[in-house]
Structure 1
Amino acid sequence: MASSLRLSTVILPVRRWHEGGREVWQRAEELGFRTAFTYDHLSWRGNFRDGPWFGAVPTLTAAAAATEHIRIGTLVTSPNFRHPVTLAKELISLDDISGGRVTLGIGAGGNGFDATALGGQGWTPRERADRFGEFVPLLDRLLSEDVVSFDGEFTSAHEVRNIPGCVQRPRLPFAVAATGPRGMKLAARHGQAWVTTGDPKVSSAGTPAESLAAIRGQLDRLTAACGEIGRDPAELEKVLLTGFTPDRPLDSFDAFVDFAGAHAELGFTEIVLHWPIPDSIFAADEKVFERIAAEGLAELG
């Protein structure tokens, strides 16, 4: 079980690069995390709304230059303020700078501040799903083909050149965040990984056992979506972004071991922990966090 499970982290873009930002990414590499992700938002909620918040792609570019081996990526990028043509160019450049270490976490987005930052109205869940359904296949093509033209309902591309393409072939991997049927189908068809944060209906008032049951149902739906197109669901990595379920895996080393073991048994191959941020919903004991990074997966063996 433990041999197939990997541990990654999310580093929120809240630190000035020369005031601790660089050191956090380098420390993530030293601790042996498989991937260090960051959020791709214009701002975020809660006490992050009016605090420092830097752009994802420039941050990841700097992180690529400051590290050597750790993978880097977004968790997640969405169509809320991204156009696939310009995003593809940035990702190809980032993949080149990093030497092929980029994973694109991608989702449909939500109704937060990103949804209205450009002056438009927020989209309904159906509208987000419609746009996501067009966004992902087009981005797949843009990252895989030298020349792309496309005329869609929401986005277009006219003889777009993306030469020389990604370092990773045929393109950098997609980790598709999805819980609904349409998103699951996109993950099955275009993803190299599937991402969940759990079931939001359970996170606020449910129990860890109820959360496990809900996530098991999500995995069943992913398996069904893969079956519809004849894909083996084992081909997809299963990624759990923590911090949004009733569990508290960073409360102690033992709490993490129990949490990771239970989710590994469900079939997850990667668990992502938020890097501790004091005085926030991601506050945690840094000594416990570092011990988990260093020893947590070995304990599962």
Structure 2
Amino acid sequence: MKISTVMWPTESWPEAGELWRRAEDLGFHTAWVYDHMAWRGSTPWYDAYTTLAAAAAVTSRVRLGTLVTSPNFRHPVPTAHAVKTIDHVSGGRLTLGIGSGGANRTSDGGILGGEEWTPRGRADRFAEWVGLLDRLLTGPGTTAEGAYYSAREVVTEPGCVQRPRVPFVIAATGPKGLRLAARHGAGWVTNGRRDGVDPERVVREQLDGLRAACEAEGRDFAGIRRLFLTGFTDEPWLASPEAFADLAGRYAELGFDEVALHWPRPGTDWAADMKVFEAIAAA
């Protein structure tokens, strides 16, 4: 079980740089960051890609990634350009977490204006977005005319450091999204949240869906990473090292090979004892 952390893009530089170096020193596998324009009214809230580029320059071992980039405010062409650049700055340490995005306007849903996206329209946009991003990152050149996104004579050489491209970890829960994860994802991520339902039951159902999607796509289920994003259920992940060890063991048995813990953030739902957090990382 790999242990990762989720960083908060709320600190200015150079204080933020010290936190990213601390995440590396604590030995986390990946330091993820949320990719939003804002989040639940938090301010300041800095750009994820700029933050990752800066973090790449002050670290050398920890992997870096987004949780999650979405079509809400990013077009595949400039997104691919930024992804390739960060992959080069980091020496091939970037993982791209991607999802369909939500409709919450306190984050970034609908922030660019226009018509509201229906759930089906959002899923269709996401499928096209992921497919085009995959093409743009594998290159060497891309021209595409889609229903939602287009690219004209985009030169993608020299491409990513990682081959054939930066790995995708796709957030998905429904059949269409899970098929997308099986088709394009090096990994899949979920937070296990469904109101009134036990998280372990939720993820069992989702894992069954992912197995079915892998079978439909001719993909080896064992070859896809499975990441659990903690902090969105009532489970006491950061109550104590013992509580963490118990939960991590249970989720490993379910089939997860990575968990991500939020960096403790006082005064929020993600407040936690920093000594416990560091003890978990050390263990």
Tell me if TM exceeds 0.5. Answer: yes
Aligned residue in 1 for 2:276: 288
SS at match of 1:239: strand
SS at match of 2:28: coil
- For the pair 1:40 / 2:7, whether they are aligned, the reply is no
- For the pair 1:55 / 2:40, whether they are aligned, the reply is no
In the alignment, structure 1 segments of 5+ residues that lack a partner are: 296-301
What are the residue-to-residue correspondences of 1:168-187 with 2, within 5 Å? 168-187=162-181
Counterpart CA distance in 2 for 1:22 and 1:99 is 18
**What displacement does 1:245 show?**
1.9
Counterpart CA distance in 1 for 2:97 and 2:43 is 24
**What displacement does 1:200 show?**
2.4
SS at match of 1:284: coil
Deviations 1:170-220 (A, max 9, x none): 00100000000110000000000000011323xxx44xxx21111111001
Given that 2:11 and 2:44 are in contact with CA atoms closer than 8 Å, whether structure 1 keeps it comes out as: yes
One-letter identity of the residue aligned with 1:33: F
Counterpart CA distance in 2 for 1:239 and 1:156 is 31
- For the pair 1:71 / 2:63, whether they are aligned, the reply is yes
Counterpart CA distance in 2 for 1:241 and 1:255 is 16
Counterpart CA distance in 1 for 2:6 and 2:202 is 23
Out of 43, 63, 78, the residue aligned to residue 86 of structure 1 is: 78
Out of 190, 212, 219, the residue aligned to residue 207 of structure 2 is: 219
Counterpart CA distance in 2 for 1:92 and 1:294 is 32
Query: TM-score normalised to the size of structure 2?
Result: 0.97
One-letter identity of the residue aligned with 2:119: P
Out of 253, 260, 265, the residue aligned to residue 272 of structure 1 is: 260
**What displacement does 1:17 show?**
1.4
Given that 2:194 and 2:202 are in contact with CA atoms closer than 8 Å, whether structure 1 keeps it comes out as: no
SS at match of 2:31: strand
**What displacement does 1:132 show?**
0.4
Query: TM-score normalised to the size of structure 1?
Result: 0.92
In the alignment, structure 2 segments of 5+ residues that lack a partner are: none
Given that 1:194 and 1:237 are in contact with CA atoms closer than 8 Å, whether structure 2 keeps it comes out as: yes
Whose helix proportion is higher, 1 or 2? 1
Out of 233, 247, 250, the residue aligned to residue 221 of structure 2 is: 233
Q: Report the RMSD for the aligned CA atoms in angstroms.
A: 0.9
**What displacement does 1:94 show?**
0.5
The alignment of Structure 1 onto Structure 2 pairs a total of residues equal to 281
What are the residue-to-residue correspondences of 1:115-194 with 2, within 5 Å? 115-194=109-188
Out of 11, 23, 31, the residue aligned to residue 15 of structure 1 is: 11
The alignment-based identity, stated in percent, is: 55
SS at match of 1:99: coil
Deviations 1:257-284 (A, max 9, x none): 1110110000101000000110011100
